[in-house]
Structure 1
Amino acid sequence: PVLLKQRSFTSIQLASTRAEGFSQVEYEAISLIIPQIALALDNLLACEEIDARRRLKTVELAIVSAFRNGRDLTEIAPVVAAAIHQVLPLDLLTLYQVGRVLGTAQDDTSVYRQGPEFLPLRLRDVVDLSDENTRQQWQAALTDLEALMQQPTLNVGEAGRAARAHNLVAQRYGERLGGLQSSMYMPILLNGRPWAALVVASKVAYAYTEKDLRLLQDLSRPLSLALENLLAFERIKTLSEQLEQEKIYLTEELKTSHNFEEIIGTGPVMQALFKNIALVAPTDYTVLVTGETGTGKELVARAIHNVSKRVRRLMIKVNCAALPPQLIESELFGHEKGSFTGATDKRLGKFELAQGSTIFLDEIGELPLELQAKLLRVLQEKEIERLGGRGPIVVDVRIIAATNRDLQQEVAAGRFRADLYYRLNVFPLVVPPLRERPEDIVPLALHFLPRIGKKLGKPLTGIATDSVQQLQHYAWPGNIREMEHVLERAAILSYSPTLALPETLGPSLAARAAPVENGAVRPLHESMREAILAALAQAGNRVRGSGGAAEILDIKPTTLEARMKKLGLSVAR
């Protein structure tokens, strides 16, 4: 006998062909080398144990890494099987009911070995469950297996063969893989309860031992921990997605029920406008936005774009009144190098920049007649041509146009093409002036207040009562833009968090509508001169562009420049 450490022993058996056998001296010699043999065996067993622990830790780390890096069970299962195959012979691995734990549609995930790789094994490749009778038998067989999977189970030899003979699930998997003869079941515990199971199987009759069952039990612990972590991550992910969806839903609800983007409107007129925006936005139809200066036509255009399917691309804005007539065509359609004096490089026009998106043509009524024909071609043919270009360029652009003019009158006066008007006027939207929506005056003022306060670095908390009354009774000929400028001026001059208007606003709406006394009538050129000077002062001496004097006076920039020249007025530089 050879006594080893850890209460174990082995023995050495020697045999001889001699009739007399071994002598006493030979027995004594063997006895002298037994301790050295025992020491060598103890060292060998210790090395094997260390190596076994190392391999076990490697497998455990591989399992944890598989659950951490895998996107779903179909990615995780092959990695887990390959890791366990390093310490146990495998031909099949099944993660039973792990999908149910994770809340996925895929309840069980199986993989089988083909050469050095583990490949997914789908349930429909094992059994046809289209037949109701087969489906019921399969479910009954799974129910029988669940009882066995509640505890570590070893199936080898005759006992394993008998167990497989009475279970449809084991039979079908064995038939599919060419005969499985050994298997082990190991429950996966979550919070101390068996929620799922790890199933391994081999084609070898006595592939597993009780020692292998203990090894599988050791591997089930990091598997349970990894599954718990994955389950916690999935719950956090689900909650995060739910919160994000709720945020999107609430945001869309606010946009739909109350405003679009920064458009403030609670009255029936604005709610009707919001409804029409929601109806036309998902389509690709051309929209014509009309309304007085400063009513927020650009905001309406942006709202349409932001609710449309083109929202991922930037909306391109062109102010037709801010561009000199000789540059508008190049700005809209682009030009080739050398197409005119100063064209040193090729340039893409705004329509090409808006490819796949929306182009907003502000102040479309200011577009010269010769360019109106080219815009009409874009609407009809969906193509443009650069200045100096060699051929047409197909564009996919949605057009939203805006104007403060009555285009029907412009058509009647010969300043706007009738065919272009009808092409633009597919879905008209009218933005009401501020005087027709008095219920929005105070909400608009309170909307501007924090923005102005942030810009100036002043904590503006409210508006004085008498100032609120003035805001409500003022006619607002410049509409929302004028209101913002009034509040900005008041904020600059304010020393208190409560905003107060520094001076009385102009005459009320009723006063503006009152008839003029006979003695107050003055020559037309004097009234015109004062009106132009007042508009220039309000516009910061700008004739053209958004908020320019021409826009305030509701006339074309070229007309205003002609009248200024006639009256001897010039813009201060």
Structure 2
Amino acid sequence: MPMNQPELHCPELTHEYRALLEVTEAIAAHRDLPELFRDLAQRLPQVVPVNFVALSLHDPVQNVMRLQTIQANVPADLIGGHVEPVDDTPAGLVWRTQQPLIVPDLEAEARWPTVIERMKEDGTKSVCIVPLTTAVRRLGAMGFASLEKEAYGETDLLFLQHVGKQVAVAVDNVLHHQDLSHERDRLRLLLEVSESIASHRDLTELFHDLAQRLPQVVPFDYINVVLHDAVRQVMRLWLLVTSEPSTISPGLETPVEESPGGFVWKTQQPLTVNDITQERRFPKLMAMLRENGVQSFCAVPLTTAQRPLGAMGFGSLQRRVYQEAEIDFMQQVAKQVAVAVDNALNSEAALAYQRQLARERDRQRLLLEVNNAVVAHLDLDDLFMAVSACLRRVIQHDGSSLLLCDADSGEWRIRVLDFANNESFVEQGRVETVTWSPCCVAIETGKAAVFHESDLKEKAATSDIARHLLSKGVKSYCSVPLLSHHRTLGALNVGRRKDDRFTPEEVELLSQVAQQIAIAVENALAFQEIATLKEKLSKEKLYLEREIQTEYNFEEIVGESQSLKRVLKDVETVARTDSTVLILGETGSGKELIARALHNLSERRDRTFVKLNCAAIPTGLLESELFGHERGAFTGAIATKIGRFELADRGTIFLDEVGEIPLELQVKLLRVLQEQEFERLGATRTMRVNVRVIAATNRDLAQLVDEQKFRSDLYYRLKVFPILVPPLRERAEDIPMLVRHFVQKFAARMKKRIETIPAQAMKALQSYSWPGNIRELENFIERAVILTPGNDLFVPSSELKLSTSAATSSANSLNATLEQAEREHILKALQESDWVIGGPTGAAARLGMKRTTLQSKIQKLGLTRSK
């Protein structure tokens, strides 16, 4: 039962404010989540009746809710660690809907039986659960339980929501800290891999060692090495280590084009297959893997600085999705393994292998030091000092700086890290303008940007930054973006006065350092937000709370007529695809319900369903509603606005009255349909989305195309799968069911008891043509329920008779007019052809119809030559 949020301005709530302050102090004092929740379990009962405090976090990989910790101030058996599907736990409902939940009496709650039974075993009578959400992401939910029934009211809910906002930032901070710790463990394991490679001369022993170590980071059940045979042009299985007996053995040879290892060797790109049963390439090898129970696998290039050798593969007997970070880690391992394999293949290169291995080991050790320095500092100033010291050891340079966005002003500002002889290339605190600079290139492209003296001279004519760097004697400059959670926080910049270009290895090393700095910067910013008691809600959340309604299915569609069943059959056919659907039908015929049914039956049902009535938005604002705008894009744009397409990413967008979209905007809509990309108003960056489009209209789009009021290419792009919703007059057999449905609905709302519907009234309702379709019927029944004094529905039949009479008269008049016009047109053609019907100059040719058709019409209209 989601609750509204009352304002927290009452004078008598001073005690709650003091408790919130104590909660803030507790968050600042505890870095360990179980300790924090134990503290909260002792403090909160002073304000609200709380006996249990629980933390449930969402696992995005497995899409489950994990009970992270639970603390109690009374004896209890329930502990943390339980894992439940999102839909099987109340915390999952709160996480998904972002609405708080109060269960006043667990005995009366029938949902989530497994979780509820666990809570009842510890004596819990009522619970309150609030979202655990920061401005960056939705983490999960925080629960409060009491041994008393109906323990929580709206004031308690408001207080606990404020507690949840503060705890969410603290939990996010701890998770970031855990990410950094994981990165440190990953680097330590890479260092161990380097040492293992150095200590094993026999590669079989080496891979048995790796098979024990690597699953700590990347789970797998087998690991192999496939090498390219340049003479025979095949890929040969050179080495295989498995946890279970296998029918595949080393020595197996496969043509390059039929081998996943061959694909990786040729493209030098990793290959991931999350579900072998869906893989249609490499059929022979896939059959062998299925025979051995392999469900998922990944292969990464095995390449040294001198040559590509083949591929290193690893797979799982359980179906799983290998994450980007896991694949990146295995690529780092493969780089070291490649050196060992190359050394084994070419013993004469042993000395070069040892040097390469030592460099890699030193590099991993230095990266580990950088990671340790980053983990140890949350304050930005302390962090920059630590990073500066690490950079001096990692790579030779004469100066370094960081470009970060100022949270208050939104401007990009320079932070100096370190410069030799106290001579800086850049000014501390200087605002980076929108003119060209290495930082701009790195931030816009999301990749490292490297410039030599000649490159800076080319830009000197148009760039103040380039001229400034050249005046300071800079000959080589590298700028690396700070990327975190799919956004750019800034850039790391390193410069040299020596004529020494940055090598690809140095750029890669700087990129890895930048990744750790990005996590640390985001962590430090989160730490600052905790100190200032950040209370913000994202615009996406506000929109979703206000407008998005996703609980619809076929149960909302009433009727059993054949025409309706044909429509629902089409819905079931196309729903599970991602194809564009165009819903056609008269006003009020239920096009939006069909669109919602398409969404709810699709694979996108767990994502957002966003609707927009294109006719209800002024033309000047429609582009901003669809695609969003940047701050300052036009007069009145005081803040960045998220567009409907962006909100619907990985979900469905429903464009109602699509025929009303102006021509100048149709081009941009066509691009989104074809390329799934667009730019916000006032922005230069292209945004990509994954959106399914469902459009609806009551207009004749084909006629609009003929009149050049609608683009033909957009029309055909929308008309991939048209669905025609029949008007109510064509499904009269559904009217009784609809009438009963609406009577029950409005009677319950108005607290009336209506038991019967007179047969004569129902007959009158079925005889009426309902030009306004279901919407008109619904409004008519609502009026009838209002007018009904007793248990029998009172239907104002006089309104139906008047309307029916008017409609019949209008139809007869129209038919008469059409018949007279047809008669005169045929008679004119006959007179002009001198009553010659057939032949190239006859009346049939003039009228564009068959001779027999014209003869039939002459007989029907009673036309003779004498007339």
Q: TM-score interval w.r.t. the shorter chain?
A: 0.3 to 0.5
TM-score of the aligned structures, taking structure 2 as reference length: 0.30
TM-score of the aligned structures, taking structure 1 as reference length: 0.45
